[in-house]
Amino acid sequence: MGNPIGNTLQRGWEVLTRRIDSMLFGAALAIVCVGLVTLFSASDESVARVTNQALSFAFAIALMWLFANIPPQTLARGAVPLYVVAVALLVAVALFGVVVNGSRRWLNLGLARFQPSELMKVALPMMLAWYFQKFEGRIGWRDFAFAGLLIAVPVYLIKRQPDLGTALLIGASGFYVLYLAGLSWRVIAGLLLLAAAVGPVVWTHLHDYQRARILTFIDPSRDPLGAGYHSMQASIALGSGGIVGKGWLNGTQTHLDFLPERHTDFIFAVFGEEFGLIGNAVLLLLYLLLIGRAMVITANASTMFARLIAGAITLMFFTYAFVNMAMVSGLLPVVGVPLPLVSYGGTALISLFIGLGILMSVHAHRKLVIS
Amino acid sequence: MPRRLLFSSRRNRNGGNGFGAPELRNPERELHRFRRRLSVAAVLVGLAFAGLFARFFYLQVIQHAHFETRAETNRIAIVPIPPNRGVITDRNGVVLAQSYSGYSLEITPSQVGNLDRTIDELSKVVDIDGRDRKRFHKLMEESKDFETLPLRTRLSDEEVARFAVNRYRFPGVEIKARLFRQYPFGAIASHVLGYIGRINDKDVERIASWDQAANYKGTDTIGKAGVELSYERDLHGTTGVEDVEVDANGRAVRTLKRTPPIAGDNLRLSLDIGLQQVAEAAFGDRRGALVAIDPTNGDVLAFVSKPGFDPNLFVDGIDSASWQDLNESPDKPLLDRPLRGAYPPGSTIKPYLALAALHSGKRTPSQTIFDPGYFQIPGQSHKFRDDKPGGHGVVDMYKALVVSCDTYFYTLASETDIDDTARFLSKFGFGQKTGIDIEGELTGVLPSRAWKRQRFAGKNYPDDARKWYLGDSVSAGIGQGYNAFTPIQLAHAIAMLANDGIGYTPHLVKSVQDTRTGAITAIASEPSSRLDVRPDQLALVKSALVGVAKEGTSAAVFKDAKYVSAGKTGTAQVFSLKGEKYSEHRVDERLRDHAWYEAYAPADHPKIAVAVLVENGGFGAEAAAPIARKVFDFYLLGEAAPGAAQVTPLTPGDEGD
């Protein structure tokens, strides 16, 4: 105790770790490790690629730490400006965006290109959480209608980029906040009914190729060279993995090039082929641990803003994981959603860890009042 | 905060009470409701994950044996073989676009550690210049990093051999046999042919909308403009498939089955490349457009947009410096002027207005006016000036066309309702797309009351802006004001006039040849519109147009021609001088008038009709008519001489530098 160097080190360690939630971080770390191990196999043992991802991971942890140390009320103050800036950037994209691969999604910032829809993923739930906190206790239908408008604007702007997948995900994040803020079950049921009623109408308005994509989802053998290919090869990879899997680096589907996009959207097929049902069960449990812990943090959050933002982050995390695994195992049509913390890609990893940082901050800054 | 509240089951009113009446502030109840909402979500999360586990169990345990066999037999890789793209020739069979196979050096960036160092090392083995590097970096930005991208194309045999020896040093780099597109005439007819380029996301959607995604596997380029774009589906062909057995390392061991590709259809254009070259040369360095049409069937014989561009630059992906040059040049080389340039028609509109006046009975051929050199709307002081200061004196319809008397047409316009005029002119196709078989055509503007109301419907325009004024009609009477036509519209109209009012939709592709059967399908040329005017009225206007070339505004240009031609000059103001006298030398080059000439020949039996526009060329008779003369001379008289002798394509390998 008397050792000054020891004390300094101890204090430093305390500053570093006091806001870090060990269970949340432990689960995330385990999932990232699973990702790196799988990535090594999926990239044909490319050390460069794994290193690259590990560097993104290091950077992501630093940002997580930073956000864990920002009190939720400070974040709440930034919500409105962030939302306004994000909408303005989306408008700027529509007006002067850079067209990459035929879609106008990027802004050129001289040094780098930037995709404002990424920012909106954080900005929209924050804005809604701020709004409901401000009118806490007297939230009426008008507020929900206005919140609906706050959701509709960015969703529309992103949809016309065109990037329907991201638009739907951002719409979902907004919906989660409304749900947690107490949107009436009757309205939710009404929305579901409306969606069911609109479905057939939408179907008749779809392009032939979009319809073909959905039909291919129902019966992948319909188009073995085309869209059904990914889905079919992923099912073969998972199914042939069996209970214990083929072993690390031994997946034939992976190494004979049958799996497409195998370090990004389809990395789960690689994992499932090489580690089998047992591996999948472990990964599911890790995700459940992470989501469960996040829910406990959400339930104990002290303010409306903290509660709603934590809830939205938690449910979005779940949504990404579920949609990706359901897509790879053939339960959902092929959509471009990466597997959180596992798929290759620095931006997604960083956003996810910022989300975890916010959760940790919510937990660390809960007021210990009623005691 | 007491933990026991989590997932508490205390009874409460339904969570829906937030909807409707405002409620009292009750933090504890709200918190409670929030937690119940969260519990519902937690249950759903649990169910969803249980569902996933059930699915995994189904695939990995129940169906395991099935999928294991599938994976075992999954040793057969299906390799697409891209088809040869169809050849494009001119009407005489001269090749304008073709494909040939060659070798390219390709890199898969994701498999290469240090890209720049690898390229440096490669450049010691194979020639790689700065442009290749720039182009490669642009491709990198536009594509996903696991794609294979070409660094150098068209390798020589020696380079292929040299790389093969050094191959072990370059993991992730390989030589591939690819098909290359080549345009032997370079920039000549570039806006007709267009170009091909790498397939991007939007193209992928287009391909998917044709339900052709499988057929484009192995193809990495697609038509982006001109005939290459509009006839993409004919030119592409059918992709072949090779079933290859692969070993444990994924290497091909043997071919089990091979379905050969079917090359794309060959296109024969109606274009005469000899005529096209003459026409482009006639422009020199000037900007402008020319469309020549065979009035008897709608064949487009020449289609010029100056300046053009070299389509060969686009084939392997254009480097950003060249792209910037093309895109940002004030001369707009990428603008397809015949289709997308809308210019005021100036006096070239007069023959159609004269015909309209005869048809409606507003004028008889012999009716005269006196031209003092200007026209005034009664009660107004503004003078609409004639280009001849003293006026043309007594003018009848024939003379009005031959000397291009503005006052005659000002007067006529002031007595005619603009909507009647628009209705008649629309029969010639003005203000509409002609329907030519390449994409991107503009409609132009054929003004009418309805058009003006709609054009200025915006709230920031005052009500006055939507009203049609007599002055608008008067300006429109000499092809100024709101009128804006594309060169293809004018060419179509003059061809229709030449063919006694029977119009054909202009088309660039004459026939399509199926490469497998050799069968040739001609593009049908049926009349698309018929004008209902009396033959004697048509004859009067046509005789006046002959007069223009014989004794009128373009007589000097057509002196000594060995054929009789008919035409009409036009000069379109780019810039209003507000009553000042126009002086060519005092006006900035880009604000000078556009020069027009529309014509056909031979006058009694027209074989060719042409519309020429020279941007900022000044007076129509001086700038545009001589180009028409050169085109007629070549087409009508040069036919005896072997046309092919004049056709001089670049040799392959020459272009693109």
Give ipTM to 2 decimals: 0.92
What's the pLDDT at B5? 39
Cβ of B45 within 8 Å of Cβ of A139? The answer is no
Q: Is residue B469 part of a domain?
A: yes
Order across the sheet with B566-572: list the strands: B300-306, B288-293, B608-614, B594-601, B566-572
B200-246 tens-digit pLDDT: 878 888 888 887 888 888 888 899 999 999 999 999 998 888 877 76
Contact A257, B247 (CB under 8 A): no
Q: What percent of chain B has pLDDT over 70?
A: 88
Q: Is residue B241 part of a domain?
A: yes
What's the pLDDT at B641? 39
What's the pLDDT at B7? 38
Mean pLDDT of chain A, nearest integer: 85
Task: Give the integer Cα–Cα distance in Å for B3 and A367.
Answer: 13
What's the pLDDT at B9? 37
What's the pLDDT at A13? 86
Cβ of B57 within 8 Å of Cβ of A299? The answer is no
Tokens representing residue A310 in the block: 């934590």
Contact A237, B59 (CB under 8 A): no
Q: What percent of chain B has pLDDT over 90?
A: 44
Residues B253 and B345 placed together within one structural domain of the fold: no
Q: Is B248 helix (H, G, I), strand (E, B) or coil?
A: coil
Contacts of B293 (CB under 8 A, 6+ apart): B299, B300, B301, B491, B492, B495, B506, B608, B609, B610
Q: Is residue B263 part of a domain?
A: yes
Closest CA–CA distance from residue A7 to any residue of chain B (Å): 32
Contact B372, B407 (CB under 8 A): yes
Using CA atoms, how far residue A60 sits from A115, A322, B51, B127, B153, in Å, is: 18, 22, 31, 42, 40
A74-86 tens-digit pLDDT: 999 999 999 999 9
Residue of B14, B19, B70 with shortest CB distance to A187 = B19
Contacts of A213 in chain B (CB under 8 A): 208
Residues B242 and B364 placed together within one structural domain of the fold: no
| Mean pLDDT of the region A278-293 | 96
Domain residues for B289? Answer: 274-643
> CB of B22 within 8 Å of any CB in chain A?
yes
Residue B611 gets which letter from DSSP?
E
Contacts of B211 in chain A (CB under 8 A): 208-209, 212
Point out the residues of B that are catalytic.
347
Tokens representing residue B394 in the block: 């007594």
What's the pLDDT at A225? 52
| Mean pLDDT of the region B128-147 | 75
Residue A73 gets which letter from DSSP?
H
Residue of A225, A280, A296 with shortest CB distance to B6 = A296
Q: Nearest CA to B523 among B506, B505, B510?
A: B510
Residues B245 and B293 placed together within one structural domain of the fold: no
Task: Give the integer Cα–Cα distance in Å for A144 and A131.
Answer: 10
pLDDT at position B305 over 80: yes
Residues B260 and B399 placed together within one structural domain of the fold: no
> CB of B42 within 8 Å of any CB in chain A?
yes
A35-62 tens-digit pLDDT: 999 999 988 788 888 998 999 999 999 9
Q: Tally the C-alpha atoms within 13 A of residue A111's C-alpha that lie toward its C-beta.
A: 0
Closest CA–CA distance from residue A78 to any residue of chain B (Å): 24
Cβ of A239 within 8 Å of Cβ of B77? The answer is no
Residues B478 and B412 placed together within one structural domain of the fold: yes
- Chains A and B form CB pairs within 8 A to the count of 212
Distance of alpha carbon B534 from the chain centroid: 37
Tokens representing residue A323 in the block: 């949609």
Residue B647: left if φ>0, alpha if ψ -120 to 50, beta else—which one? beta
Residues B210 and B335 placed together within one structural domain of the fold: no
Query: Is B653 exposed, middle or buried (CB count within 10 Å of its CB: 0-12, 13-18, 19+)?
Result: exposed
| Mean pLDDT of the region A325-333 | 89
Contacts of A137 in chain B (CB under 8 A): 23-27, 30
pLDDT at position B127 over 50: yes
> CB of B201 within 8 Å of any CB in chain A?
yes
Q: What angle do CA B135, B82, B436 make, to 5 degrees?
A: 80
Domain stops at, among B212, B246, B269: B269
Closest CA–CA distance from residue B80 to any residue of chain A (Å): 10
Residues B392 and B245 placed together within one structural domain of the fold: no
Task: Give the integer Cα–Cα distance in Å for B166 and B186.
Answer: 35
Q: Is residue B560 part of a domain?
A: yes
Cβ of A330 within 8 Å of Cβ of B67? The answer is no
Residue length, chain A?
371
Contacts of B68 in chain A (CB under 8 A): 239-240, 242
**Count of Cβ atoms closer than 10 Å to residue B226 Cβ:** 26
Cβ of B56 within 8 Å of Cβ of A277? The answer is yes
Domain stops at, among B221, B247, B269: B269
What's the pLDDT at A177? 94
Residue of A100, A182, A325 with shortest CB distance to B142 = A100
Cβ of B205 within 8 Å of Cβ of A102? The answer is yes
Contact B603, B497 (CB under 8 A): no
SS3 content of chain A, % helix, strand, coil (to 5): 70, 5, 25
Contacts of A140 in chain B (CB under 8 A): 18-22
Task: Give the integer Cα–Cα distance in Å for A271 and A252.
Answer: 12
Contact B271, B227 (CB under 8 A): no
For the domain that residue B534 is a member of, what is the CATH number? 3.40.710.10
Range in A358-362, B22-26, B309-313 with the lowest mean pLDDT: B22-26
SS3 content of chain B, % helix, strand, coil (to 5): 40, 20, 40
Cβ of A102 within 8 Å of Cβ of B6? The answer is no
Closest CA–CA distance from residue A2 to any residue of chain B (Å): 36
Q: Which residue of B has its CA nearest to A144?
A: B19
Cβ of A101 within 8 Å of Cβ of B60? The answer is no
Q: Is residue B70 part of a domain?
A: no
Give the total number of structural domains in chain B. Answer: 2
Residues B192 and B301 placed together within one structural domain of the fold: no
| Mean pLDDT of the region B253-265 | 83
A98-147 tens-digit pLDDT: 665 555 666 666 555 567 888 898 899 999 999 999 888 778 888 899 99
* More confident site: B470 or A164: B470
Q: Is residue B307 part of a domain?
A: yes
For the domain that residue B160 is a member of, what is the CATH number? 3.90.1310.10
Task: Give the integer Cα–Cα distance in Å for B377 and B471.
Answer: 8
Residue length, chain B?
657
Contacts of A185 in chain B (CB under 8 A): 14-16
Q: Which of residues 59-118 of B touch A (CB under 8 A)?
A: 59-61, 63-64, 66-68, 70-71, 74-75, 77-78, 80, 110-111, 113
Q: Is residue B655 part of a domain?
A: no
pLDDT at position A2 over 90: no
Residue corresponding to tokens 């402008």: B288
Q: Which amino acid is at B348?
A: T
Cβ of A300 within 8 Å of Cβ of B201? The answer is no
Q: Which amino acid is at A287?
A: Y
| Mean pLDDT of the region A282-286 | 96
What's the pLDDT at B174? 83
Q: Domain-by-domain residue ranges, chain A?
A: 22-364
Q: Which amino acid is at B353?
A: L
Residues B361 and B439 placed together within one structural domain of the fold: yes
pLDDT at position B487 over 60: yes
pLDDT at position A205 over 80: no
Q: Which residue of B has its CA nearest to A321?
A: B49
Q: Say what the alpha-carbon torsion angle B300, B306, B312, B313 is, to the nearest 10 degrees.
A: -150
Residue corresponding to tokens 């060169």: B487
Residue of B15, B142, B202 with shortest CB distance to A185 = B15
pLDDT at position B567 over 70: yes
For residue B465, what is the enclosing H or E element? helix B463-466
pTM of the predicted structure, to 2 decimals = 0.61
According to DSSP, the β-strands at B566-572 and A103-108 are unpaired
Distance of alpha carbon B376 from the chain centroid: 42
> CB of B208 within 8 Å of any CB in chain A?
yes
| Mean pLDDT of the region B621-638 | 90
Mean pLDDT of chain B, nearest integer: 84
Contacts of B108 in chain A (CB under 8 A): none
Q: Is residue B524 part of a domain?
A: yes
Contacts of B209 in chain A (CB under 8 A): 207-209
Q: Is B10 helix (H, G, I), strand (E, B) or coil?
A: coil
pLDDT at position B8 over 50: no
Peptide bond into B307 cis (omega under 30): yes
Residue B463 binned pLDDT confidence (cut-offs 50, 70, 90): confident
Range in A239-253, B252-266, B363-377 with the lowest mean pLDDT: B252-266
pLDDT winner (highest mean) among B319-323, B360-364, B521-525: B360-364
B168-177 tens-digit pLDDT: 888 888 888 7
What's the pLDDT at A1? 52
Q: Nearest CA to B365 among B423, B422, B408, B419?
A: B408
Residues B601 and B618 placed together within one structural domain of the fold: yes
Residue A209 binned pLDDT confidence (cut-offs 50, 70, 90): low
Residues B290 and B261 placed together within one structural domain of the fold: no
Domain stops at, among B234, B269, B304: B269
Using CA atoms, how far residue B601 sits from A174, B271, B613, in Å, is: 69, 18, 18
Closest CA–CA distance from residue A147 to any residue of chain B (Å): 13
Residues B256 and B285 placed together within one structural domain of the fold: no
A8-34 tens-digit pLDDT: 888 888 888 888 899 999 999 999 999
Q: Is B243 helix (H, G, I), strand (E, B) or coil?
A: strand
Residue corresponding to tokens 């006052």: B407
